[in-house]
Copies of this chain bind each other. A is one copy, B any other.
Amino acid sequence: MKNRANPSASMPQPTRADARRNRERLLAVAQAAFAEHGPNASLEDIARRAGVGIGTLYRHFPTRQALLEAAYHDQMELLTAEAKTLLEEASPGDALDTWLQSLLVHKLLQRGLTEVLVEGEKSGEISPAKARMRAAGAALLARAQQAGAVRSDIDILDLMRLVHGVAVSSEMSPARAQLTSHYLKIMIDGLRTSPE
């Protein structure tokens, strides 16, 4: 039984110049494609637009999920950073709300981020960037819970799933943006209520 593929999801730093170049182009095109067509954008199309063969795409990113994660790597780092900053904010509850809102803004702009963040739980294998973001979010959540601002019977995974649900709820309506913030408010109100 040989170990699955490369170290972290999709080898990060190829050695050869052409490989690195192709990886960059693929990521750039993939970001645009996912933003435009959602997470099911055609991989053959992405390869074509990046000017590489389909085989090259699959060598760099063995699964769709790997490509998605790589494409949203920067977004996730941004959200990680924001969570860390928000840890300084005076009100733990407000800090968490703000972060959840940021999450949704990113999700709206980058359709497909949602899937990245929630998908692949059972399949083990969480990318480092995603793990970092989760850890940062967990800290924010824990602080809010200790302050009594948020019910204690949820963890960071629940939170991610719920945000995912909110994003999906409003996805098909033309007035997505308004609905999303409306639904997020409702969910946040639900989080505030203590379990008992």
Contacts and interface: CB of A to CB of B under 8 A. Distances in A.
Interface residues of A, number: 32
Given A165-B165, A165-B183, A189-B189, 11 more contacts: A118-B172, A121-B173, A122-B172, A151-B186, A154-B182, A154-B186, A165-B166, A165-B169, A186-B190, A186-B193, A187-B190
Interface in A70-113: none
Q: Is the contact region of chain A dominated by helix, strand, or loop, or is it mixed? A: helix
A188 interface: yes
Copies of this chain, tallied across the complex: 2
A104 B188 CA distance: 21
Interface of A: 118-119, 121-122, 151, 153-154, 158, 161-162, 164-170, 172-174, 179, 182-183, 185-193
Contacts of A174: 122
A183 B161 contact: yes
A134 to B, nearest CB: 15
A59 to B, nearest CB: 28
